[in-house]
Structure 1
């Protein structure tokens, strides 16, 4: 909201908008006795009117605008989360603008989209040295789809979305992510309890026990743990964006409550006592459970980096933090817990998502082989 007071009950409202690489401005002076939220609401309505006037006058200019200009407008008006907008910007910067940036937006046709997708299929990633994955190509296609939808529905400069109907490589339904077998979890717990840092040990057992998304544990505060009832509340996550870390609701916007084991509660109390001793002046209830040496929340990659080095040193299997979430769901599945209950445990909104998170363990595979061996082996019958 951009406005300033220019006299008693008098204000000037300013807006600007990027159109075809040029910034266009509009301003309006108003006189009102409104205050507080009522004033803000009035200002926001006037801003909308001013922006609409720019749109109506600039529609002819937009018809001549290039792809980069329209994508800038799309980002400026997108209602997506900051993290999603960051990913849009990255996809645009990495490959999309190199291909489409100079093209007049309204002249881009389906064959241009197909050509772009074809280029992606043949490209080798500098990071991995391998072809781009079907999932990555899908992200690019989806970005183009939402930008062209914006141009069609909001800017009204095209009649049809050229991305519709463009085929991309099939993305596998199963999320191919590693996990730990129950014996490997036990081995890791033993090593961490003896040789690891307490906060990372607690992070590990809490991750496997709750099946949290790592961002939910990084954003966990002491006020979310009720030591009397033994209940942990999971309804927030700490997410890294280009503008820094932000606290937001969980991915599925749910609120999960789980009963913690006596052992985990004991280790959490130990950790809290240490934090209270180190930072007695702080309101511990409002503080993060997992902190760095400055008493601030851990960074997004803190556990991953520590755990990778620890596993390498101890000679045990390493999996990234998110795979511990898969481990939690998979081990529950191995114990014949219903899929719906596992989904509730992990905070999924539909069962199809949960199905991607549970994998076949060695134990289950051995049981399957034993059962099928028994069925398919001829039985010797005694002849009297």
Structure 2
């Protein structure tokens, strides 16, 4: 093991590791997560060298981070750090794995918005929307509720993506709303490029909204203006509070869409494909509680059937 390498600052090693292994290999949004972790290393452990990384010093870094972050966020932070540290171990820059048996702590979780609504609550919300002849966030909310699109996918829709004849919405890309300049970008994964079927009423409503909008321009992104998901979330919070239902986020409407489909008996592969998940495992993990509930209902049906034989 090189004496000079082993004494380099951990923050310097991590910065170099990002440039070497992550730049150009991951999406910009993912790269920013690694860069954010680097900011925290510079804040929490600016003087820690590689040869000083052991279980105690590593745990101390996690503990400091946990003072102001929830456990799941700390776990994500740990995973980002560990990826680089394991490469350092493999390269013999660190003698032993300092992340082994790390204890993941975290501060008390904040009050979160509901993850999804039930059918009655969703119906109340959709009846509250003000749907006139002009493009608005109310139309955007209806679109996500009926399709389960991701926020960035819905923003990227253009008139040419609306196929009235086949009642299909083509998802080909997403909108980089986190960048002040905006612009189209690739979807989250290859499976996210898909065709989402919808009812005839919504498809004709969308077609009417598109009148006068250039076929290659986003329907919901005004020319030269930046959009924020907080704008839609604030509007949703206002509506939910007014009608007395749990406050939901725009991403929560995507979860609502998937949950209601599962409760209606739509298969996991079909829901997975509709959501643009990379595989059904993602769907199963995300909606495990619903799947388990449905399995219990299926068991009761089996027992009722067997009792009749």
Q: TM-score, normalised by structure 1?
A: 0.65
Pick 1 or 2: higher relative contact order, CA cutoff 8 A, min separation 6. Answer: 2
Report whether the alignment pairs 1:62 with 2:5: yes
* 1:164–1:248 Cα change, 3 Å: farther
Tell me the CA shift for residue 177 of structure 1.
4.9
1:4-29 Cα shifts (integer Å, max 9, x gaps): xxxxxxxxxxxxxxxxxxxxxxxxxx
Partner of 2:258: 329
- Partner Cα separation in structure 2 for residue 198 and residue 295 of structure 1: 16
3-state DSSP class of the match of 1:114?
Answer: helix
When residues 217 and 194 of structure 1 are mapped into structure 2, their CA distance, relative to the original with a 3 A threshold, is closer
- Distance in 1 of aligned mates of 2:190 and 2:224: 28
Deviation at 1:187, TM superposition (A): 1.4
Match of 1:272 among 202, 210, 213: 210
Distance change in 2, residues 1:193/1:263 (3 Å): farther
Residues 198, 211 of structure 1: CA spacing in aligned structure 2 closer, same or farther, 3 A cutoff? same
Give the secondary-structure state (helix, strand or coil) at the position aligned to 2:136: helix
Q: Are the structure 2 counterparts of residues 189 and 334 from structure 1 closer, same or farther at C-alpha, using a change threshold of 3 Å?
A: same
SS of corresponding position for 2:190: coil
Indicate if the aligned counterparts of 2:148 and 2:254 stay in contact, CA closer than 8 A.
yes
Deviation readout 1:83-109 (Å, 9 max, x if unpaired): 122122223324x33332201123211
1:77-156 alignment, distance < 5 Å: 77=20, 78=22, 79-94=25-40, 96-121=41-66, 123=67, 125=68, 132-153=69-90
- Maintained 8 Å contact 2:62/2:78: yes
Aligned to 2:14: 71
Q: Which residue of 1 aligns with 2:218?
A: 288
Tell me the distance in 2 between the aligned counterparts of 1:229 and 1:106. Answer: 62
Q: Give the equivalent residue in structure 2 for 1:162.
A: 98
State the shift of 1:360 in Å.
Answer: 6.8
Q: Quick one: distance in 2 between partners of 1:177 and 1:144? A: 30
- What 5-or-longer segments of structure 2 have no aligned partner? 107-111, 305-309
**Secondary structure at the residue paired with 1:142?**
helix
Distance 1:142 1:197, change over 3 A: farther
When residues 262 and 220 of structure 1 are mapped into structure 2, their CA distance, relative to the original with a 3 A threshold, is: same
Which residue of the partner structure matches residue 257 of structure 1? 195
Computing the radius of gyration from Cα coordinates, the structure with the larger value is 1
8 Å CA contact 1:230, 1:260 repeated in 2 = yes
Alignment of 1:290-305 (within 5 A): 290-292=220-222, 294=223, 296=225, 298-305=227-234
**Partner of 1:218 in structure 2?**
155
- Give the deviation of 1:311 after TM superposition: 3.6
Q: Which residue of 1 aligns with 2:121?
A: 184
1:198–1:318: structure 2 CA closer, same or farther, 3 Å change rule?
farther
What's 2:275 paired with?
346
Question: Are 1:343 and 1:351, in contact at CA under 8 Å, matched by a contact in 2?
Answer: yes
Aligned residues: 288
Q: Distance in 1 between matches of 2:190 and 2:131?
A: 37
